[in-house]
Structure 1
Amino acid sequence: MRLRSLFTLALATNIAVGTSTWFSKAAYNKWHENELERWLSDNDIPYPTPADRKDLENLVQKNWDNYAVAPYKNWDTEKLTSYLKSKGTETKGTAEASKDSLISQVQSQWYETEDKAQHAWIDTKDWILDTWSESTLKSFADKHGIPVPQPRKRDTLLQQVRSNYQSVAKKAGQAASYPGNWLYETWSESDLKEWLDVHGFPAPQLTTRDKLIATVRRNSRIAYLKSQDQLDAAAARANAAYGTLTDKIVEAWGDSQLKEFCDKNGINGRCCMLCIGSAFS
């Protein structure tokens, strides 16, 4: 049952633990004043300077739903239509479909519920690192002296960096809920641009390093949700493909044949790595 077990592992890593009941206070209520300003700045929301914490918090609250919980509410019709097509939903021409109608359709097919979106912002370390490349995780671990057992594979690196995330921030005297540029200190400008390109976000033109970091940070949640959605789809294809095989055939395969099977059935990226993990251990 070798492949069945591996596919089960891949699925298990992507099954939501469950939605917790949303608490009475939003995550940003506990943010440092600098984090409130950073979030507003990242989302191009003007705020007065100087401003007291209450004014900043009220401004974040006013914009929170449209930027953090349901960001698609700020999308134009082209982007809304593109998202629906990516989910297999054909829409009428944008001239015929109202923006409100498109937003309603996207909302019904969004990656997560509003309750889960709210809950996710309680602890950003649970997801903000997931879309990092192996090389950026290695650089972060090395920079901050985070021990990573051999072999230093991506999943091990991710686990160790996430476990030490809070302590690194504390040691540097930095806030960690909506992290500043310290989190991307080891990223080069090419790393930042590559991340944006890989995840389908246009890099700002005539930009600075700070603007690149802000763009990566602002889009990290959507990139994470998109990657999880792709993993779930890959796992579903794996299960469907496995249904055409027998355990006896699969047990006779070597690692290279398992990898070839994954490749032929479009099971790529992290899901494939999980499914054939023994080939890389």
Structure 2
Amino acid sequence: MRLLPTVLAAALATQGVLASSWFGKSAYNKWHETELERWLSDHDIPYPTPADRKDLEKLIEKNWDNYAVSPYHSWDTEKLQSYLKSKGIEAQKGTESATDSLISQVQSSWYETTDQAQEAWGSVKDWIFDTWTDSELKAFCDKHGIPVPQPRKRDTLLQTIRSNYETIARKMNGAISYPGDWLYETWSESDLKEWLDTHGIPAPQPTTRDRLVASVRRNSRLAYLKARDQTASASASAAQAYATLTDQIIDAWGESQLKDFADKNGIPVPQGTRLNELRALVRKHRADFLHDNIPKKATDAFGAATSSAGNEYARATDKASLAAQDAFNQAVSSWSESRLKNFLDARGVPVPQGSKSDELRALVRKNAHRAASGGNAWIYDDMTLENLRAYLVKHGDETAKKLAEKKDATRDELVSAAQSGYASASAAGGAQYASLTSYLAQATQAAKDNVFDTWSDSELKSYLDSYGIPAPQGSTTNELRAAARKHYTFFKYGTSTPSETILARISEPLKNTWNWVVEQFGLGAQVAQQKTKEAEEKMRADL
């Protein structure tokens, strides 16, 4: 008898699953009435006003398949033939003008199944942003106060927007399932027209903003499917091209053939690239695309990065350079105006009078490849207290020497005295200035490896404050040192020496090492964990 309740429960559960599946087949069954009305309006389907929910659902039910699931049912013969041609399918002989036959052929090669279409309309946020440009995604984030991930990669940007989508919709009092006009608030009319033009969709006539938004929203799913199909096709074509591209062919090709291959396969070729460099570039992209020798490349590159962090790693992959550039841009975005000006002054870059913060940042990014000169006034702000005192005792005037001997002298006082002395020596020139710059170069080299190690928390916070960066409350000494080293490295080296920026990055708290490895190389878990363990042991040994 005990078995009967169990069987009944199982049967009811099965029925519940089937019922849930049946009711879930049409996504609009879960939509709000305003969403139902908007869908009908977007598709130019008249509906009575006022109308109850049942009437609206019946209207959508009549038109759902022809618009949301199988839109090709409303296509003319020319559009049907164009689709088949894009898929590399020849219309069956004698059916070129037979609409029903063409529809049947399109149906058999359509982008997705009916179930896939129903599921997609149940979660619009998963695909509707995919046809947006990066700038449109960034504008959406800015509009709704979503922090943009750094480095700003498209995949992480999309993921961030999707995870915040429902929160934003509720905040805007907007619908979630079939979104309202709020979704396109950051788009201008020209943006809307450009999107339609890009995806081969004629703009509605007469043109109004409401009609443009409706057209973009109505065609978003089809544009997404088409773009996804084109990407898959291009990827397959590239795979075929790379698979047949042997080392012998690369070596036999001349410069024009290599450049032509690069152009066709989207490989950026920097101006002035030599023949051997061009061959190496093509080989690298072939290996990246085919995932060839990734563990070996990662082992070599990671070994170089965690040991000497030298130029070998920078040559091994351009991903490190891109990561350094992104990290540099992220860092300077929070710098104060005075620190931005210092960065430019340290490199002899003229600062236009009245420059605003954004203009200064743009100028800093433009000169990111420049390293600070060997001797300049800003070299003092990362000196240890001991070095500052020793420097002032040896090179300072009487006032500076007395200050250096004061036990309660602050860092700011010592730095100010050193900078004042530097300015005087620089103006006077001669042997005194030469001696001073020589001392600074030696002090910098000696302090490079252990800079900030002896600094107190208050000194570290003061240093970060000079960049306009408040130290997070509750930060540990190691976290303060890591932040100080990062900004020190970018200020001193910019992006001119990737080895320095990479070293700074992997020298952050060891808990970040695993994420860094995965991000840079996409290693499998077992290999990455092994490399992380080796890296941690190496770092501990070097401390």
Q: Matches of 1:58 and 1:128 in 2, distance apart?
A: 26
TM-score, normalised to structure 2, is 0.43
Which residue of the partner structure matches residue 77 of structure 1? 77
Question: Which AA in structure 2 matches 1:226?
Answer: K
Question: What secondary structure sits across from 1:224 in the alignment?
Answer: helix
Question: What secondary structure sits across from 2:22 in the alignment?
Answer: coil
1:56 paired with 2:56, answer yes
Which residue of the partner structure matches residue 240 of structure 1? 240
1:99 paired with 2:105, answer no
Which residue of the partner structure matches residue 17 of structure 1? none
CA contact (8 A) 2:184 2:213 kept: yes
Instruction: Pick closer, same or farther for the CA change 1:218–1:206 going to 2, 3 Å.
Output: same
Question: What secondary structure sits across from 1:173 in the alignment?
Answer: coil
Q: Matches of 1:123 and 1:129 in 2, distance apart?
A: 12
Shift of 1:205: 2.1
Which residue of the partner structure matches residue 189 of structure 1? 189
1:139 paired with 2:136, answer no
Q: Matches of 1:198 and 1:267 in 2, distance apart?
A: 23
Question: What secondary structure sits across from 2:166 in the alignment?
Answer: helix
Shift of 1:224: 0.3
Which residue of the partner structure matches residue 203 of structure 2? 203
Question: Which AA in structure 2 matches 1:205?
Answer: Q
Which residue of the partner structure matches residue 35 of structure 2? 35
Q: Matches of 1:35 and 1:277 in 2, distance apart?
A: 47
Instruction: Pick closer, same or farther for the CA change 1:154–1:77 going to 2, 3 Å.
Output: same
Higher helix share: 2
Gaps of 5+ in 2: 1-17, 251-257, 269-284, 290-316, 324-543
Greater RCO (CA < 8 Å, at least 6 residues apart)? 1
Q: What are the Cα deviations for residues 219-248 of structure 1, in whole angstroms up to 9, with x where unaligned?
A: 000000001101111111121122123589
Shift of 1:93: 8.6
Question: Which AA in structure 1 matches 2:221?
Answer: R
Number of residue pairs the alignment of both structures matches:
250
Deviates most, 210-219 or 55-64: 55-64
1:221 paired with 2:213, answer no
CA contact (8 A) 2:96 2:102 kept: no
In structure 2, which of residues 21, 24, 34 is the aligned counterpart of residue 23 of structure 1? Answer: 21
Q: Matches of 2:119 and 2:144 in 1, distance apart?
A: 28
CA contact (8 A) 1:125 1:165 kept: yes
Runs of 4+ in 1 over 4 A off after TM superposition: 92-96, 246-250, 258-262, 274-277
Instruction: Pick closer, same or farther for the CA change 1:63–1:265 going to 2, 3 Å.
Output: same
Shift of 1:29: 0.6
Shift of 1:96: 5.2
State which structure, 1 or 2, has the greater radius of gyration over its C-alpha atoms. Answer: 2
Question: Which AA in structure 2 matches 1:145?
Answer: G
Percent identity, aligned pairs only, is 68
Instruction: Pick closer, same or farther for the CA change 1:93–1:207 going to 2, 3 Å.
Output: farther
Which residue of the partner structure matches residue 127 of structure 1? 127
Gaps of 5+ in 1: 1-20, 251-257
CA contact (8 A) 2:35 2:179 kept: yes
Q: What are the Cα deviations for residues 53-90 of structure 1, in whole angstroms up to 9, with x where unaligned?
A: 11101111111111100000011111111111111122
CA contact (8 A) 1:204 1:212 kept: yes
Question: What secondary structure sits across from 2:158 in the alignment?
Answer: helix
Shift of 1:215: 0.2
1:178 paired with 2:209, answer no
TM-score, normalised to structure 1, is 0.81
| Alignment RMSD (CA, Å) | 2.9
